[in-house]
């Protein structure tokens, strides 16, 4: 599980395992305070439905590392960039231009255009069903 489950191709899995065996890569976990801070930021921004547990853990680890280091997160994922920007953690894109400003998300009914918060639990509109 965790971040290693994000590595999909066998060649990369072997390379990462070799680097771990050599002590070149160390897998770390975020602290509880950082996880809570990220959870709150994600709920407030509306990115809650766009980020996986691994994404949240990665951002929380950056928050944990920020206490003693100057982490830079390399990602092309706009939702991750959005949370990093909110939390004032530097990031860099690889293939995309990256976001320029923080985004808040909402849901809008396609029928009547009623607006709902991003974490609205129902798939149906209160007005038109």
Per-residue tokens: 20: 């771990």
Q: Which residues have C-beta within 8 Å of that of residue 84, sequence separation ≥ 6?
A: 59, 62, 73, 75, 90, 91
Instruction: Give the CA distances from residue 79 to residues 56, 91, 95, 114, in Å, rounded to whole numbers and listed in that order.
Output: 10, 12, 15, 24
Give the model's pLDDT for residue 20.
Answer: 95
pLDDT at 67: 96
pLDDT of residue 99: 65
Per-residue model confidence (pLDDT) at position 50:
83
* pLDDT in the model for residue 122: 73
pLDDT in tens, 41-72: 998 887 777 899 999 999 999 999 999 999 99
Q: What domains sit in the chain, N to C, each tagged with a CATH number?
A: 28-117 (3.40.50.1010)
As a whole number, mean pLDDT of residues 13-34 equals: 95
Single pTM value for the model: 0.71
Residue 34 structure tokens: 């950082």
Average pLDDT, the chain: 88
Which residue matches tokens 């965790």? 2
Confidence of residue 14 (pLDDT cuts 50, 70, 90): very high
Which region holds residue 35: left if phi is over 0, alpha if psi is between -120 and 50, else beta?
Answer: alpha
Q: Tell the residue number behind the tokens 């920007």, with chain if given.
A: 85
Checking if the pLDDT of 95 tops 90, the result is: no
Instruction: Note the pLDDT of residue 33.
Output: 98
- Output the pLDDT for position 45: 84
């Amino acid at each position: 599980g965790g971040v290693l489950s994000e590595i999909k191709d066998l060649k990369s899995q072997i390379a990462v395992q070799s680097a771990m065996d050599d002590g070149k890569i160390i897998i770390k976990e975020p602290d509880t305070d950082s996880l809570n801070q990220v959870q709150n930021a994600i709920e407030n921004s509306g990115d809650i439905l766009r980020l996986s547990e691994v994404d949240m853990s990665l951002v929380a680890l950056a928050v944990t590392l920020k206490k003693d280091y100057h982490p830079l997160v390399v990602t092309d994922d706009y939702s991750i960039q959005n949370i990093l920007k909110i939390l004032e953690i530097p990031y860099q894109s690889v293939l995309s231009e990256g976001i320029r400003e923080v985004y808040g998300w909402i849901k809008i009914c396609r029928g009547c255009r009623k607006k709902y918060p991003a974490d609205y639990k129902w798939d149906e509109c209160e007005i038109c069903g």
